[in-house]
Amino acid sequence: MRVISGLYKGLKLENKYIENVRPTTDRVKESLFNILQFEIKNKFFLDLFGGTGQIGIEAASREAKKVVIVDNNINAVNTIKKNISKIKNNNISVVRSSSDLFLKNNTDKFDIAFLDPPYLDAELLCSSLLNIKDHMQKNSIIVIESLKQTEILNHSNGFILQNRYIYGKITLHVYRN
């Protein structure tokens, strides 16, 4: 697992096994950032289910103004912190919290949010999608990674599904408000 482009291009990231964490493949990650490529610089980026932190670190590498990575798993948080320590970027913060609790207590507004919850937890995905609206700026983007067969709403709380991108078993759903 590595950073694909930007300031930290080529940096190898820690990817040891963490229970219930399935890192986004390089192919899907590259596609995600091709979709977002002109929209990341100087933006506030949220990775709500951080796992290894690779998506948030990739956003920072592409000059996101600030990145917040959230995960509830202590091993994931430790891995994220280890990966962030390799780049010495003060614009990335890591929060150990459940997604629902984070969204309940957060006061920041994000320009881009990436949601990649555990694939079999449709309830968690739905609650996150419903609760994230108040944490997003106007003209913001939410991207959800899911299994291809996962049913996801075409619109939610003012966000409209703009596009779906299918990569084998994985789908990226891009919403805009």
Q: 47: pLDDT confidence band, cut at 50, 70 and 90?
A: very high
Q: Quote the pLDDT of residue 15.
A: 80
Domains and CATH numbers, the chain: 26-176 (3.40.50.150)
Q: 18: pLDDT confidence band, cut at 50, 70 and 90?
A: low
Dihedral sign from CA coordinates of 34, 36, 39, 44: negative
Task: Kindly tell me if the per-residue pLDDT of 64 is higher than 90.
Answer: yes
Nearby residues of 131 by Cβ (< 8 Å), 6 or more positions away: 100, 103, 104
Task: Kindly tell me if the per-residue pLDDT of 46 is higher than 80.
Answer: yes
pLDDT tens-digit map of 97-118:
999 999 999 999 999 999 988 7
In contact, 101 and 123? CB cutoff 8 Å: no
Q: Quote the pLDDT of residue 136.
A: 95
Q: Scan for tokens 């980026």, then name that residue.
A: 45
